[in-house]
Structure 1
Amino acid sequence: MATGLRIGWALVNKQSLVSTAMILALGNLAAVAALNWQPLTLLIDTMFSWPNIAMAFSQIALIMCAAGSCVMITTVASARTPSGARSVALAQYALAAVIAALSLALFFAQGAQPQMSPEEYLRRNLGSGGASWVLPLIYVLLAMSLVMWAGLRHSSRSRRGRALFVFTVGITLIVAVAVLFLLRATGLVESVGVGTGATLLGCAMVAVAVGALLPSIEDWFGARRELRVIEPLLAELGRRHADVGIGVRPHGPLVFRVAERMSLISDALFLEASSERRTVDAPSGRAGDADQRPEELTAPAVTPTEQARAIAAWIHAGRGDSPGHGHVRFPGFAWLRQPEVYSDREWILAIAREYRALDRERPSAQR
């Protein structure tokens, strides 16, 4: 699911170095899980006519998973230019390819062994004689340790920060499995069970997948909530200014549709303000929004919530079914500008929340 979602997201958006690395990391982690499924293991071994070759492919997939994760985290945390980041990523992929080739060469150098299940193969070869596992495990340990360190450093309470933390928890479990298997492969510890490592690796895969899916899940629920918030304001402004396209349902991801509708609300608010200024100034022959009053150019000395409430009350008073229809004076263009602590999106949401609150109070006021 996580891999498919990342591939789909990359197809509908501009594919970047980070998204490619994420697809590579998740795809190869999924390959590790699939290659250790015994029916598929037997099928691959039969197709390539070499017993247990699926385990060699598992090594390569684990190495490329570590490489993709490392490229992803170093690119996000890097301050280099795009060309510099691309060069570093290519160097990391080249190193991973060399490690994978050496691991595959060591696997074939050991010769063919009797066909066995993945668990039995690990139990027999992750001992003092498991030379083919030492090199990939060292690389995975070092690369994933870097990913774990960078992930913990950049985790935060933001939406992306929370997802990065969950992803890092999964990477930490992979590091723990790599340490356990490396100790067993070097003969330092013989009591580490393969089943324990496989269980930890399964938990790690779930955590990594959840970390990859979490931003998209939160984006979807957040976009649905924002659509509910802006819907009353969107409908009213769409009734007044249908020419700006409000009400037309854009295609694409839900978060894009929310952004599109917010931009249409912003355009309609400006048109509404311009229209009202022309109406008010017409008797005096003023030039409308090109000749604003001094008080309309001054930033309002109120809190952002009060400013948003004033704009919402002005729009709400223009409704034909609103009590006191048309009795709220246009506050001025300065009131339409978002406060410094608000982004464009946050400001539209603030106005929409206040308008929605007024819309909910309207039936009780009429009664």
Structure 2
Amino acid sequence: MTVWVIAGLLGMATGVRVGWALVNKQSLVSAAMIIALGSLAIVAALNWQPLSLLLDTALHWPNISVGLSQVALVACAAGSCVMITSVASARTPTVVRRIAMAQYGIATVIAVVSFALFFAGGQQPEMSAEQYLARNLGTSKTSLPWLLPLLYVLLALTLVTWAGMRHSNRSRRGRALFVFTVGIVLILLASAFFLIRATGTTHLVGVGTAAALLGCAMAVVAAGSLLPTVEDWFTGRRELRLIEPLLAELEKRQPDIGIGVRPRGPLVFRVAERLSLISDALFLEATATQRAQRSHGGGPADFDLPGTLTDVEQPAISPDEQARRIAKWIYAGRDGRQHAAEGDFPGLGWLRQPDSYSDREWIIAIARQYRKLTR
């Protein structure tokens, strides 16, 4: 049951990456993540004994799932290495792609040679993966087939660990990278334990300990891969609730902004879509208010309308106070009282986000202040 939980988590993480790659433009990093997570899911699934027996029977070779696990582990290391080196590289995309192809080529050669050595070792009686490792690791018959892939995995994952720790930070993606890297470290330790066994030092660590560590590592890697998706979902739900009052009010005043908008889609796209609607509606409402002030003989915003928000001067006040003034202006014009809101209109320049805010953060800040007023 534990094996299937781990395999399910890794499969879910792989599916998320595949879905993201289908929705967005395919990239080298996305493909590498799919290879790494999918390969690790295969390793977990191959440790389920009924599936191992099914493969052994179908392919007419006992314990072939162990050889396939070797290949999948090498593919996981290759995908992880390509992913982290592509993210950390400052070279041109063409050079990064060539480096990735070279890494995949080396991994393919190692996987093919390891699989060939596995077959060269001959057939053995049917047994579980843990029993197979306990019986064969450390013997002259199977040391070479295991030394080659384990050495590659150790070298590749050491590079992944170094780069992952270096680029981890407190951002959402940085936290996910840190958790993913912790899982890679655990895989690195488990591989080192298997390598110790393969070199004949059998009294230092047991196969069961290394297998348990590898299972924990798979779970941590899956958690690190799913963490951004989980955080995006919870953050998206919270932001939808936060911006709903402001969006509902602006849609009443500017009903044309929602024409042709897709009502459903991935949550992160729905949030971005609604934030864009609020931004457009705020600009339309501001220009309409400004024209109304000019038609009534001037006011605090009695000047020619600029083409963009970058053409007007930004107020020299705190971002919270700026967002609060905009929210008060919208709140004063609710229920059709647009004329009453003209006196509260601070000016078109107030809609410009402060330098420390992104477009998304600025709209959310205004929505947060408006929600406080509605309460």
Task: Indicate conservation of the 8 Å contact 2:289/2:342, yes or no.
Answer: no
Q: Could you tell me which residue of structure 2 aligns to residue 186 of structure 1?
A: 199
- Cα distance in structure 1, aligned partners of 2:346 and 2:43: 62
Q: Could you tell me which residue of structure 2 aligns to residue 111 of structure 1?
A: 122
Q: Match for 2:343: what amino acid? A: V
- Cα distance in structure 2, aligned partners of 1:341 and 1:271: 24
Label 1:288 to 1:323 Cα distance change in 2 as closer, same or farther (>3 A). Answer: closer
Select the residue among 281, 286, 298 that pairs with 1:273.
286
- Cα distance in structure 2, aligned partners of 1:341 and 1:240: 30
**Deviation at residue 191 of structure 1 after TM alignment:** 3.8
Q: Match for 1:154: what amino acid? A: H
**Deviation at residue 326 of structure 1 after TM alignment:** 2.8
**Deviation at residue 246 of structure 1 after TM alignment:** 7.3
Select the residue among 128, 135, 150 that pairs with 1:137.
150
* Alignment deviations for residues 282-318 of structure 1 (CA, whole Å, 9 cap, x no partner): 24598751599xxx94321211111111111111111
- Cα distance in structure 2, aligned partners of 1:350 and 1:30: 41
Task: Indicate conservation of the 8 Å contact 1:316/1:322, yes or no.
Answer: no
Question: Any unmatched runs of 5+ in structure 2?
Answer: 1-11
Q: TM-score, normalised by structure 2?
A: 0.91
1:96 aligns with 2:95: no
The CA RMSD measured in Å over matched residues stands at: 2.1
Task: Indicate conservation of the 8 Å contact 1:41/1:52, yes or no.
Answer: yes
Q: Could you tell me which residue of structure 2 aligns to residue 364 of structure 1?
A: none
How many residues get paired? 357
Q: Could you tell me which residue of structure 2 aligns to residue 228 of structure 1?
A: 241
1:359 aligns with 2:374: yes
Q: Could you tell me which residue of structure 1 aligns to residue 97 of structure 2?
A: 86
**Sequence identity percentage:** 65
Q: Could you tell me which residue of structure 2 aligns to residue 30 of structure 1?
A: 41
Question: Any unmatched runs of 5+ in structure 1?
Answer: 361-367
Q: Match for 2:305: what amino acid? A: D
Q: Could you tell me which residue of structure 1 aligns to residue 305 of structure 2?
A: 289
Select the residue among 335, 342, 354 that pairs with 1:320.
335
Task: Indicate conservation of the 8 Å contact 1:319/1:325, yes or no.
Answer: no
1:332 aligns with 2:334: no
Q: Match for 2:179: what amino acid? A: V
Q: Match for 2:50: what amino acid? A: P
* Alignment deviations for residues 28-51 of structure 1 (CA, whole Å, 9 cap, x no partner): 101111111111111111111111
Q: Could you tell me which residue of structure 2 aligns to residue 16 of structure 1?
A: 27
Q: Could you tell me which residue of structure 2 aligns to residue 197 of structure 1?
A: 210
Q: Could you tell me which residue of structure 2 aligns to residue 363 of structure 1?
A: none
**Deviation at residue 10 of structure 1 after TM alignment:** 1.6
**Deviation at residue 324 of structure 1 after TM alignment:** 10
1:123 aligns with 2:128: no
**Deviation at residue 2 of structure 1 after TM alignment:** 1.3
**Deviation at residue 110 of structure 1 after TM alignment:** 1.2
**Deviation at residue 250 of structure 1 after TM alignment:** 3.5
Report the secondary structure of 1:328's partner residue: helix
- Cα distance in structure 1, aligned partners of 2:54 and 2:207: 23
Q: Match for 2:173: what amino acid? A: R
Task: Indicate conservation of the 8 Å contact 1:238/1:246, yes or no.
Answer: no
Task: Indicate conservation of the 8 Å contact 1:314/1:330, yes or no.
Answer: yes
* Alignment deviations for residues 3-22 of structure 1 (CA, whole Å, 9 cap, x no partner): 12222222222221111111
- Cα distance in structure 1, aligned partners of 2:203 and 2:184: 24
- Cα distance in structure 2, aligned partners of 1:265 and 1:324: 21
1:218 aligns with 2:231: yes
